[in-house]
């Protein structure tokens, strides 16, 4: 998981595909590399935000694996999703809510 980049397509153990929208890598002193990955949310949440964040370790435990595919995220919608991350996680400032992104990998 430490090699994944923005645009990579991951597949779950059940066969669901998700696209990596943001990657934050870090390494604590003396520990294995870790980080977080951001995806478009797959179902509505109480937070109403249109994305969710998982740690590399969580993805591994949930059975996600890289497919080897990488997409260029250049559409208008892809850019709107990327702008959402700049709002610093403040749900009141979100433009795209969970219901706006349902069905988008």
Domain assignment present for residue 96? The answer is: yes
Domain count, the chain: 1
Task: Round to whole Å and give the CA distance between 62 and 102.
Answer: 20
Could you tell me what percent of the chain has a pLDDT over 90?
Answer: 17
Task: Round to whole Å and give the CA distance between 38 and 53.
Answer: 4
Domain assignment present for residue 1? The answer is: no
Domain assignment present for residue 18? The answer is: yes
Domain that holds residue 70: 8-101
* Of 70 and 93, more confident: 70
pTM, whole model, 2 decimals?
A: 0.79
Looking only at the bridges linking them, the beta strands covering 8-11 and 17-19 are: antiparallel
Give tens-digit pLDDT for 44-83.
878 777 888 888 888 888 899 999 999 999 988 888 888 8
Task: Indicate whether 26 pLDDT > 80.
Answer: no
Task: Round to whole Å and give the CA distance between 23 and 49.
Answer: 18
Domain assignment present for residue 2? The answer is: no
């Amino acid at each position: 998981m430490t090699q994944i980049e923005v645009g990579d397509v991951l597949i779950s153990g059940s066969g669901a595909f998700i696209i990596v929208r943001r990657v934050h890598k870090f390494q604590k002193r003396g520990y294995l590399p870790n980080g977080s990955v951001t995806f478009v949310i797959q179902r509505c949440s109480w937070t109403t935000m249109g994305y969710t964040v998982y740690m590399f370790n969580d993805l591994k435990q949930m059975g996600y694996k890289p497919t080897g595919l990488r997409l260029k995220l250049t559409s208008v919608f892809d850019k709107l999703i990327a702008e959402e991350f700049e709002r610093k996680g403040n749900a009141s400032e979100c433009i795209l809510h969970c219901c706006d992104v349902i069905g988008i990998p």
